[in-house]
Amino acid sequence: MIGPLQALNYADVDLYNLPVLRNIIQSYYQGLTLHGVLNALVFTQFFISGWMLYLPVRDLGAKINLKFAWGTYIMMTAGLLIAAVPLLLDQATVLYTFYPPMQGSPVFYIGASIMVAATWFVLGQVVYTWWAWKKANPGRVTPLVTYMSVATWLMWFIASLGLVIEALTMLVPWSLGLVKGIDPLLSRTLFWWTGHAIVYFWLLPAYISWYAFLPRHAGGRLVSEPLVRLAFAMFLINGTPVGLHHQFSDPNVANSWKVIHMLLTFTVAIPSLLTAFSVAASLEDAARARGGRGYFAWMGKLPWNNPVFTGQVLAMVSFILGGAGGIANASYSFSGVVHNTAWIPGHFHITVGTATTLSFMAIALWLVPHLTGKRLAQPKVALWSMWGWFAGMMVFALGMHWQGLLHVPRRSHVSAMAQSLETVFEGTKLPAAITGVSGVMLFIAGVMFFYVLFKTLLSPKVQDGESVALPYSDAMNPAGQQLASAGLLTRVTEPLLALFVVGLLAVLLVYLPVILPMITNYQFIPGQQLW
Ligand code: HAS
Ligand code: HEM
Ligand code: CU
């Protein structure tokens, strides 16, 4: 609901003054905080915690402590509800990045911390289950879906340390009034330690589906299991030590470290490029198996009438552009042109807002029927909702990237300026109109998707969902079952805990020299309420 209102803001249409809205949302910024927190932090985390617990447990055929699993779910929901109170009361309008010295109610920071802490319990349960399996099956290669899930969870542990340290040592004591001020630079640095890698916590669960299930939906095979393992191992080692690419314009961070983080960012694009080529190859394999021919004509043979398939492929297509934009953002010399402009929301709505979100929406179209034993209602409407979301986000990205290049700032209530957007930022009439249209398209696509979802949930049960097998894909080049006879790549990438230690050391290596001088020069800046 709030997203389209924001898109209209960037079309110079201000609905925030409507009396109905005024009673619910006090300001554009309260709305933006709700939008960022609920989409980027809550929706992603809840989906991922369920998906990446269910998959490895089913994959290993393990029995887990369900009371513990429900306990983590209750803890996560409790954290969310606690954080929701100050958010809704306009007492924590600090945006999803927190950015001190803006200061929200301590209840918000505590609730958010409880919510994030709950992910560690899910993580613990998955790693414990995997470890027990390894003990019971010495010499065996970890099955692929479990491998990808455990690697992602371990990466998330390394990634989340920054935010956890920021919350426990800075945000919570400061918001409770126990210390007299807070250091904005240190808190930003700790935030972006987590803040970049969190994008892989959002993306890799979609990769799991693109690798393990999508080829099957398409009628083809996964190309190479050892290659997938390599990609995930690379994210585990290299996903986190890159966060300074969000802080190129921050003062008091040495240029040399910014450049090192930039170069490391370019290397973390490699596992995504591996993914791009390897997933494209498995789609081609599927299409040729269905009689596809030619250099490009084979694409027509893919099962475009299946919303589960189409949604995920459209998500990938958006990510080609989103990923390319990311590499532009990460370039130190180009960053100054786009940083803090509308270009950036353009970038991340075709990454997290489409590559991740549309993949999760498409996955839900088989996962919900699978879990509930119900039949997907209205598959045609579902298909349209996939196309609608994709088209809406592409149009949105066009409008926002374009406005960014015309210097329109992000996070700005531009529709409330004394003069029109076009007067202040010349040439924005067309991109602003495009952005507004996209908001309406996305609203309609969202309504269609939820209609299908709820209609499915409310329909009668037709089978026992849990007895249905997961739609695993076969691999052209499997990793094998026994480590001793497996290829080099499989053997090198199997010891995930050792790779985890390497990843942790890499982060410490590139972060400690940046952070230690900030700690020794800690600045106590008093909190501010800008809303
Ligand atoms: Fe980003 C800002 C750089 C990926 C999300 N990013 C953001 C923010 C968010 C975000 C939320 O360097 C805003 C934060 C804020 O509020 O300030 N990003 C990158 C780079 C990558 C990248 C280098 N971002 C993501 C992903 C996200 C995400 C993934 C969420 C899920 N990003 C940045 C930078 C900034 C930034 C700067 C700060 C900007 C600033 O100035 O503030 C890379 O990981 C991208 C690598 C990806 C590729 C693409 C691979 C393509 C694939 C699809 C293949 C398609 C197929 C389809 C096979 C190289 C895998 C074929 C189809 C057929 C029909 C055959
Ligand atoms: C920010 C629109 C869905 C995550 C924004 C902004 C717009 C927007 C215009 C920029 C606001 C500003 O900078 O002032 C929309 C529309 C959506 C949608 C029309 C679909 C109906 C999503 C989804 C996600 C998402 C699905 C993630 C899963 C974010 C985040 C921000 C944002 C993290 C940044 C908030 C901030 O700067 O503090 N959205 N959005 N959005 N959106 Fe969306
Ligand atoms: Cu980043």
Find out whether 410 and 442 touch, Cβ atoms under 8 Å.
Answer: no
- Per residue, what are the HEC states of 358-405? HHHHHHHHHHHHHHHCECCCCHHHHHHHHHHHHHHHHHHHHHHHHHHH
pLDDT at 373 over 70: yes
* Ligand 1 pocket check for 219: Cβ under 6 Å: no
- The answer to whether residue 29 scores a pLDDT higher than 70 is yes
Type of residue numbered 115: M
Return the residue whose CA atom lies nearest to atom 38 of ligand 1. Answer: 246
411 neighbors 95 (Cβ within 8 angstroms): yes
Task: Report helix, strand or coil for 140.
Answer: strand
| Over residues 21-47, mean pLDDT | 95
Residues 475-507 have pLDDT tens digits of 999 999 999 999 999 999 999 999 999 999 999
**321-367 per-position pLDDT tens digit:** 999 999 999 999 999 999 999 999 999 999 999 999 999 999 999 99
CA 217 to CA 220: how far, in whole Å?
Answer: 8
The stretch 407-412 carries a mean pLDDT of 98
Place of tokens 């007067």: 423
At 292 the three-state DSSP class reads coil
Q: What is the mean pLDDT of the chain?
A: 96
Cβ of residue 350 lying under 6 Å from some atom of ligand 1: no
d(CA 438, CA 482): 51
For residue 524, the tally of other CB atoms under 10 A from its CB is 10
349 is catalytic: yes
The rounded Å distance from CA 47 to ligand 1 centre is: 20
User: Rounded CA gap, 15 and 415, in Å?
Assistant: 9
Q: Which two tokens stand for residue 378?
A: 């209205």
Q: Is the CB of 317 under 6 A from ligand 1?
A: yes
> What are the pLDDT digits (tens) for 426-479?
999 999 999 999 999 999 999 999 999 999 999 999 887 667 788 999 999 999
Distance 352 CA to ligand 2 centre (A): 10
Measured from the alpha carbon of residue 301, the closest ligand is 1
Q: pLDDT tens digit string along 218-266? A: 999 999 999 999 999 999 999 999 999 999 999 999 999 999 999 999 9
Report helix, strand or coil for 224. strand
CA dist 350 and 315 (Å) reads 8
Q: Which two tokens stand for residue 357?
A: 């979100």
Instruction: Please answer whether residues 93 and 131 qualify as being in contact, where contact means their C-beta atoms are separated by less than 8 angstroms.
Output: no
List, for residues 79-134, the tens digit of each pLDDT value. Answer: 999 999 999 999 999 999 999 999 999 999 999 999 999 999 999 999 999 999 99
pTM score, two decimals? 0.97
Ligand 1 binding pocket includes 175 (Cβ within 6 Å):
no
Does the annotation mark 58 as catalytic? no
